[in-house]
Amino acid sequence: MSDEVTRRGFIGAASVAAGGIVLAGTDPARAAESNNKSKIIAISCSRREGMSTAGALQIALEAAKAVSPDAIDTELIELAGKNLHAEVAAKIELAEGEVDDFLPIAEKLGDPNVAGIIIGTPVYFASMSSPCKDFIERLGVFRSQDYALSNVVAGVLAVGGGRDGGQEVAITSVQATLFCQEMIVVGAGRKTSRFGACIWAGAEGGVEEATNRAAAGDLGRRVAEVALALH
């Protein structure tokens, strides 16, 4: 399998990376089409489409957009139902006819305008979900191509069924992987000012409950503020 992904600041690479994706360098045609807004992408690593993790990320993205509506675009990508094939990261070729859904996601993340990424994971036994881990392993293609996500701002949100269900442990385990990418890892901004957004899906009102809204908003705002300051 060999495909192309582009990314700002990454010029001239042509080697096949771990994962079999070639990051081919800045595409002038795509850059010309770009509206030059900073883009913040949220990745929902829940197996359940449109559920708590996606809902919390929507709140984070609304807050991010509100920081500067004319300068920021946002997009939510849900991994639910997608095949990310973590074995590809270990250089195991896909079987003939197997569909790999990572490439279109990688292309979006490789957009030169992407300035921030917010990863949302459900808490599964006090850690990240397996789709989240698969996604992070596939991100290795960016690292092996001259750290193509370097200086992209990253924030993390975790949703648990319990109030103290391991959200902070899940958040910090995701954050640790992002340091491997030279990303600029930020926590939730004021007034939460903690590791990331800890969301309790069991709270009355679910992710819309005030404490959850505040935490998700503080994360989205912080990612947007730092992204605009850096990009």
Ligand X SMILES: Cc1cc2nc3c(=O)[nH]c(=O)nc-3n(C[C@H](O)[C@H](O)[C@H](O)COP(=O)(O)O)c2cc1C
Strand ranges (E), the chain: 3-5, 21-23, 38-44, 72-78, 114-122, 153-160, 184-185, 197-200
Distance CA 172, CA 189 (A): 16
Asked whether position 108 contacts ligand X by CB under 6 A, the answer is: no
| Residues 216, 54 contacting (CB under 8 angstroms) | no
Other CB atoms within a 10 A radius of the CB of residue 227 amount to 28
One residue of 17, 21, 24, 51 binding ligand X per CB under 6 A: 51
Nearest to 24 by CA among 32, 15, 33: 15
Asked whether position 166 contacts ligand X by CB under 6 A, the answer is: yes
- Is 47 or 231 the residue whose CB approaches ligand X more closely? 47
- Is 173 or 181 the residue whose CB approaches ligand X more closely? 173
How many residues lie near ligand X (CB under 6 A)? 17
Asked whether position 6 contacts ligand X by CB under 6 A, the answer is: no
One residue of 41, 42, 159, 215 binding ligand X per CB under 6 A: 159
Quick note: the x/- pattern for ligand X over 52-81, rule CB under 6 A, is xx----------------------------
Distance CA 160, CA 110 (A): 30
- Cβ neighbors of 57 (< 8 A, separation 6 or more) are 42, 43, 44, 76, 118, 120, 157, 216
Nearest to 142 by CA among 184, 113, 107, 186: 107
CB of 166 to ligand X, least distance (A): 5
- Is 104 or 161 the residue whose CB approaches ligand X more closely? 161
Q: Which residue is nearest to ligand X (CB)?
A: 165
CB of 59 to ligand X, least distance (A): 13
Q: Which stretch binds ligand X (CB under 6 A): 20-28, 57-65, 119-127, 136-144?
A: 119-127
Which residues of this chain interact with ligand X, rule CB under 6 A? Answer: 46, 48, 51-53, 122-126, 159-162, 165-166, 201
